[in-house]
Amino acid sequence: MSTSRIPGFYKLSVQERLSRVKDFAHLDDESLKNIRKRALSVEQADRMIENAIGIMEIPLGIAINFLINGKDYLIPMATEEPSVIAAASNAAKIARDKGGFSVSTTEPLMIGQIQMMCETPEEAKSAILGAKEEILMLANEQNPTLVKFGGGAKDVEVRIIETSMGKMVVTHLIVDCRDAMGANAVNTMCEAVAPLIEKLTSGKVYLRILSNLAVKRLARAKAIFSKEALGGEMVVDGIIIAQRFAESDVYRAATHNKGIMNGISAVALATGNDSRAIEASAHAYASFSGRYRPLTTYEKNEDGDLVGAIEVPIAVGTVGGATKVHPTAIANMKILGAKTASELAEVMASAGLAQNLAALKALSTEGIQRGHMSLHARNIAAMAGATGDAIDEVARIMVKEGKIRVDRAKEVLEELSKRG
């Protein structure tokens, strides 16, 4: 079996990296082409969205070293932010020493909401719950394919909520979406059962829409990060102190969770999934207890190693939507080799945990700016006109001097060219 542990991957040329990825994932020529060159045509873009005028490109990279439930993964990540992919790869390398990430998911259950107002909310609730089987049957008639694959509407729950306009009766349709993200399937079912709910209650239905708070579709990942690989006991303690900060302070928790989403959203984007749905879900879940909290936890075990864990709702699909339309997303799914939406969610949870561990490690030791700056310096060097090896040399000199500016990059470039 191929390994995702590829020492020196970052030092290879783009072409060499792609060739390693090709060997790992047995990629066909079509997929290679769709990764290397712009794959989405303007015509396709015009069919995907309205008022299309072109295509906006984002860098695509590969996070290495991930061992998840004993399986090696190369993880495609689409992001405009430097350091994200290096950070995830470094944390995955540390986790690997102790067996990598252990992951699991709940069933892929989504919630559809049907909002209703009526004179007698309690009676309406009983009537809806009394007609559960009829509601489920009507919902499932909308999507025989999903039912055939073992999914479909599975349950009905009713909540009565207090609002500034009085009580509202909110019916939740619980739908097993299998390998689909499920927004379309759930919305169609909600719209189909709404007239029945009105008939059962003499109420008036308003919204019929999926909830992006996917509390029944959770992904979990856990890993042990050894104190030796982290850099010692002080680093373990530093990460735990950072964790306690996030647990007690919403300002820090928001940033902590943003770092987690750097990993999760980059995989969502690379695989053509709805990153906004995942972000909304994660942040709402973070405040589900009534207080906004970090999505990860960290504890020290009896060996003094750090045990990190994440629990986060991840509603993704491997069928439907852009996942099966965008040629690069299709190729990225081949690299990832995730067979189901649950497996994809487990990989994403691992990427989120890795990202967070790397951020906390950097923040509680040297800070994140040094790592950021060397990448930033390479960009500045290129902006100043450096090409090839000169980019690294100009960047190295600027970082050493602590002067990362285009004017300085131009001077250094001139000095280098004089030296020949």
Chain residues that interact with ligand MEV, rule: CB under 6 A? 81, 255-256, 258-259, 262, 359, 363, 368
- Beta-carbon contacts of 86 under 8 Å, excluding residues fewer than 6 positions away, are 10, 371
DSSP readout, 353-413?
A: HHHHHHHHHHHTTT-SHHHHHHHHHHHHHHHTT--THHHHHHHHHHHHHT---HHHHHHHH
Of the pair 65, 356, the CB lying nearest ligand MEV is at 356
Q: Report how far apart, in Å, the C-alpha atoms of 138 and of each of 125, 178, 182 are.
A: 18, 19, 17
Shortest reach from residue 84's CB to ligand MEV, in Å: 7
Catalytically annotated residue among 71, 258, 376, 403? 258
Shortest reach from residue 87's CB to ligand MEV, in Å: 8
Of the pair 173, 360, the CB lying nearest ligand MEV is at 360
Query: Has 300 been annotated as catalytic?
Result: no
Shortest reach from residue 252's CB to ligand MEV, in Å: 8
Query: Has 274 been annotated as catalytic?
Result: yes
Q: Tally Cβ neighbours within 10 Å of residue 182.
A: 30
Q: Which residue is nearest to ligand MEV (CB)?
A: 259
Shortest reach from residue 268's CB to ligand MEV, in Å: 16
Catalytically annotated residue among 132, 154, 300, 372? 372
Query: Has 258 been annotated as catalytic?
Result: yes
141, 177, 170: which is closest to 156 by C-alpha?
170
Q: In what order do the strands lie in the sheet with 166-176?
A: 152-163, 166-176, 109-117, 204-210
Query: Has 372 been annotated as catalytic?
Result: yes
Of the pair 153, 359, the CB lying nearest ligand MEV is at 359
Catalytically annotated residue among 81, 303, 366, 407? 81
Shortest reach from residue 232's CB to ligand MEV, in Å: 20
Of the pair 174, 267, the CB lying nearest ligand MEV is at 267
> What is the distance between the alpha carbons of residues 97 and 59, in angstroms, rounded to a whole number?
29
Of the pair 220, 256, the CB lying nearest ligand MEV is at 256
236 phi/psi in degrees, rounded to 5: -55, -50
Question: Could you tell me the two tokens for 203?
Answer: 């109420």
Residues serving a catalytic function are 81, 258, 274, 372
